[in-house]
Amino acid sequence: MPEGDSIFRAAAMLRGALADRTLRFAWLRDRGPMSRWIGRKVQAVDSLGKHLLVTIEPDAVLRVHLGMHGRWRLHPPEQAFPAPGPQLSVVLATENATAVCRRAMQVELVRAGDPRLRERLAQLGPDLLAETIDWTAVLTRARSAEPRAIAETLLDQRVAAGIGNVYKSEVLFLAGVHPFTPTANLDDATLLRIYERARELMRANLGPGPRTTTTLRSPGVRRPVSTSRAWVYRRHGLPCLRCRTPIERALQGDMARSTYWCPRCQPDGAAGSKRAVTGM
């Protein structure tokens, strides 16, 4: 599932293949072949939370949000361009490689400096993978957000950008916080610790290989003997890797996203109602 670390890695991959190189082919889902881009340079490839931004001279900015199912892949330059289809979102080709995006949730083309783009990006909280973080801004945004459970606050990109459903469950397990705890019930130190740990988890997954959260040391939480790459995510009904209590799962928030937790390691301090579900 693409989250902040996935987009950061995708941007790094695309930057190496596209940045400062001349386009020889381009295709966008809603516009078809972009013949006017042929011969133009890709000036930059950046990530901001879950958004990937490709800047093409002289002033075009392509914003891609992968959503839950989108993926970027690189192909050799000699490989034939993929045929348009319902899953194809973006194709950008240089003499070096062909970048193909499929199943993206959003593909938006605007001019650099377009107020719509500025407004959309300005709504985002601090990017947790940025070199420096304004933690005061994160706390202020979390406190000013609508009253809700901490797991829902973590998914709010207006508070801090980058956390998705996987890290939501994993960071709350490592913090020992029940996911249905009202955000207002957490003190600043605890809230800050949760966001700092989310940043730490994502930064630990910027290298090659599959995402894992169980290799990061945490006070009082030993590395599991099993080969599981997650402490609780998608482990409903399986024993907790620390205390062996069965992991629980519930649907949470307006979008009914799955949340996983250990009822013993993350005790419910009158956290509120939850709707348990079966299956994965």
Residue of 51, 75, 74 lying closest to 62 (CA atoms): 51
Q: CATH number of 4-122: 3.20.20.100, 3.30.365.10, 2.40.40.20, 3.20.190.10?
A: 3.20.190.10
pLDDT at residue 271, as a whole number: 47
The token pair at 64 is: 């891609």
pLDDT at residue 81, as a whole number: 82
pLDDT at residue 277, as a whole number: 45
pLDDT at residue 89, as a whole number: 97
Predicted model pTM = 0.86
* 219 labelled catalytic: no
Query: Among the options 2, 168, 170, 274, which is catalytic?
Result: 2
Query: Among the options 3, 152, 170, 248, which is catalytic?
Result: 3
The token pair at 148 is: 């809700």
* 50 labelled catalytic: yes
* 274 labelled catalytic: no
Q: Where are the domains of the chain?
A: 4-122, 135-276
Strands (E), the chain: 23-28, 32-33, 42-48, 51-56, 60-65, 71-75, 88-94, 98-102, 106-111, 248-252, 257-261, 275-276
Q: Which amino acid is at 41?
A: K
pLDDT at residue 276, as a whole number: 42
pLDDT at residue 221, as a whole number: 54
- pLDDT profile of the chain (280 residues), mean per 10: 90 95 95 95 96 95 94 90 89 95 95 88 94 96 93 96 96 96 96 96 90 71 68 95 95 87 88 43
Q: Which amino acid is at 251?
A: L
pLDDT at residue 116, as a whole number: 85
* CATH 3.90.198.10 is the classification of domain 135-276: no
What is the per-residue burial (b if ≥16 Cβ within 10 Å, else e) of 136-158?
Answer: eebbebbeebeebbbbbbbbbbe
pLDDT at residue 216, as a whole number: 60
Query: Among the options 50, 168, 170, 248, which is catalytic?
Result: 50
